Structure 1
Amino acid sequence: MLLLALSTGCSSPQAPSDIKIDGVLTSAKSNLVFVEGGEFWLGDVGNESGVLFNPISDDNKPPKLVELESFSILKREVTWGEFVTFLKDVGRAGDYTVEKGFKRAVRLPITSNDDPASPNYKHKPARSPNFQEAENYCLWLAEKTRLPFSLPSEAQWEYAARNRGQAIAFATDTGEVELDKYLQRPSYAIDPMQPVSGNVLIHSSIDVERRPVGSYPPSPLGLHDMTGNVAEWTKDWFRPGFDHLSTKNPVAIEPSREHAGKRVVRDLAGLGDHVGGNATVYGRMGRGLNSYYQGFRCVVNQPQPIN
């Protein structure tokens, strides 16, 4: 039903926007990183000395041994330019305005532009107005490319962020954090043109400003911003712990009564200020389906690399 609904809103083949759409599709296929599957312990495994990475949270313990098939994942977060192209193509770009009742657009309009100083610069990470549009974007890619795109499962996201399940704290080039000095000043003094420093953006939960995707060195697996910049949706329904998950390609496909209406969000470093290890790749939380500041990336659920 959803794919059919997306199709009815699409532009005609002759529409001027098709050139931009083709660019989005080409970029999606060319920016995939193949992740060879395998077994790993999902959850906070602790370091070699047994010290937990995220000691204050019980939602990611105890770890569970699971197995994943190979898949491919976008090496960077979906951008404003890509996301707005999708919304225009399916006829929903005008649905998320103050005039249409989307009051959150006062702080962060669902638009993109060519201004590097703007929070909505086309190369900065998109922030979907809700979970459904993030999922819809990946399904739109699936329909347009005929590849099995989707949001990542929580297990896929963590496996990729941890360089195929390694016991690391951060998905940076070194596994450690060198904070960018950006956003370490009062909001009125932030300069979007300030050069990039360090290897990750974590600071400031009160500012919507973020860096363009891919501003920092990639992880050893070739992925950008799986620590920092923006938090990211996964397709799992949220439940504490991992006992409810299967051991093969696990994904929580049903909500619990206690946490009804919440999906798993990962990369809590992307929310900004943090405590108690939540900025590590083990931090997780449930967010309501209408939560509007999360970014996302998509995966292709195919066990062979995409040519």
Structure 2
Amino acid sequence: MKMLIMGKIKTVTYVMLLAFVFGCSPSSQESSDTEIEKVLLDSKRNLVFVEGGEFWLGDVGNESGAPFTPILDNNKPPKLVEIDSFSILAKEVTWGEFLTYLHDVGRAEEYTIENGFSRAVRLPIVANNDPDSPNYKDKPARSPNFHEAENYCSWLAEKTGHPYALPSEAQWEFAARNRGQSVPFATDTGELDIDVYLQRSPVDPMHPVSGNALVHSSNQVERRPAGSYPPSPLGLHDMTGSVAEWTRDWFHPGFDHLSSDNPVAVEAPSSAPSKRSVRDLAGYGDHSGGLATVYARHGEDVDSPDQGFRCVVNHPESIN
């Protein structure tokens, strides 16, 4: 009997240890009230207020008039638009935050190998407490599709009563450019100093941060924890580098379709009926031809699992 009891104790201890390592409850995949409350508190505490204004959306060119993105035509000519004030998350949504949401709404199990989500072979939709893992809870999440990124922001809105949403493309660029300044990179200096982190072999997560952005191929799923690099003058992290980010706009080749007042593309064009606009192509590792600048954009199918995201609060005053 004593040996049986000791065996049970060891089994329980092992299960609890696994739960700690993989960041979930030993008895369920549900998020606790404490976990949810922390995500909601952080989602409010980490907001940066962005005072609205007028700016030229698109590639305005450098001081000599040359475009920042000479190999792209889909961000030219720039369009003069007016943006209302809003708030935006200073950091990309993390694996820990994203899995708290997926567990709360009961959809984490939909994105497993067993349920046919093939991307999970390369990058599972999980969160853990292992800094060596690409799924470490503080590293930027890769949403399995556009809809879950959008739903996460809607979940925040439902839980908090504040109007969270994915940023419009114009909001994203306005914030990345420090309220519309003609800067090429959303870094602390406006210039790019690439961290050598993923250029080393083997990769050491404990290796000190260098530079002011991580620009590396998406073939390497590893990234630094969100917020590892110095913030932009506006107080935002990783809007150049880390991971590419969803916006809520349908992708159009250019800006002629947009209004001049708080523009957002709410209808898909017939030429790209399933693509949403993605920003921060430096998050893919793209760097040549100005693709790492804040002006670069492209359309990505809504089922693509490669993008991260952050949310905005569409309210003309700070809610902090």
Shorter chain as denominator, the TM-score bin is over 0.9
Deviation at 1:192, TM superposition (A): 2.1
* Aligned twin of 2:74: 59
Q: Which amino acid aligns with 2:104?
A: D
Query: Partner of 2:199: helix, strand, or coil?
Result: coil
* Aligned twin of 1:209: 222
* Aligned twin of 2:129: 114
* Aligned twin of 1:173: 188
Query: What CA distance in whole angstroms lies between the structure 2 residues aligned with 1:140 and 1:29?
Result: 13
Which structure 2 residues correspond to residues 67-78 of structure 1 after superposition, within 5 A? Answer: 67-78=82-93
Query: Partner of 1:183: helix, strand, or coil?
Result: helix
**Greater Cα shift, 45-54 or 138-147:** 45-54
Query: What CA distance in whole angstroms lies between the structure 1 residues aligned with 2:251 and 2:219?
Result: 25
Whether 1:28 and 2:43 are equivalent positions in the alignment is yes
Counting aligned pairs with the same residue, the percent is 71
- Structure 1 stretches of 4+ with a deviation exceeding 4 A read none
Query: What CA distance in whole angstroms lies between the structure 1 residues aligned with 2:200 and 2:43?
Result: 35
Query: Partner of 1:276: helix, strand, or coil?
Result: helix
Q: Which amino acid aligns with 2:115?
A: K
Write out per-residue CA displacement over residues 59-118 of structure 1, whole angstroms, 9 at most, x where no aligned residue.
Answer: 000000000000000000000000000000000011100000001100000000011110
* Aligned twin of 2:267: 254
Which of 211, 214, 218 is the equivalent residue of 2:231?
218
- Larger Rg computed on CA atoms: 2
Query: Partner of 2:38: helix, strand, or coil?
Result: helix
Query: Partner of 2:290: helix, strand, or coil?
Result: coil
* Aligned twin of 1:285: 298
* Aligned twin of 1:182: 197
- Contact 1:151–1:299, Cα closer than 8 Å, also in 2: yes
Pairwise CA RMSD: 1.0
Count of residue pairs the alignment pairs up: 291
Q: Which amino acid aligns with 2:180?
A: G
- Structure 1: segments with no counterpart, 5+ residues: 1-14
Deviation at 1:16, TM superposition (A): 6.6
Query: What CA distance in whole angstroms lies between the structure 2 residues aligned with 1:258 and 1:194?
Result: 45
Query: Partner of 2:197: helix, strand, or coil?
Result: coil
- Structure 2: segments with no counterpart, 5+ residues: 1-29
Query: What CA distance in whole angstroms lies between the structure 2 residues aligned with 1:243 and 1:165?
Result: 19
Query: Partner of 2:198: helix, strand, or coil?
Result: coil
- Contact 2:31–2:101, Cα closer than 8 Å, also in 1: no
Over 3 Å counting, the alpha-carbon distance change for 1:16 and 1:40 in structure 2 is closer
Which of 248, 253, 261 is the equivalent residue of 1:240?
253
Write out per-residue CA displacement over residues 136-177 of structure 1, whole angstroms, 9 at most, x where no aligned residue.
Answer: 000000000000000000000000000000000000000001
Q: Give me the TM-score of the superposition, normalised by structure 1.
A: 0.93
Whether 1:155 and 2:176 are equivalent positions in the alignment is no
Query: Partner of 2:138: helix, strand, or coil?
Result: coil
**Greater Cα shift, 203-212 or 131-140:** 203-212
Query: What CA distance in whole angstroms lies between the structure 1 residues aligned with 2:297 and 2:206?
Result: 31
Over 3 Å counting, the alpha-carbon distance change for 1:306 and 1:103 in structure 2 is same
Query: Partner of 2:55: helix, strand, or coil?
Result: strand
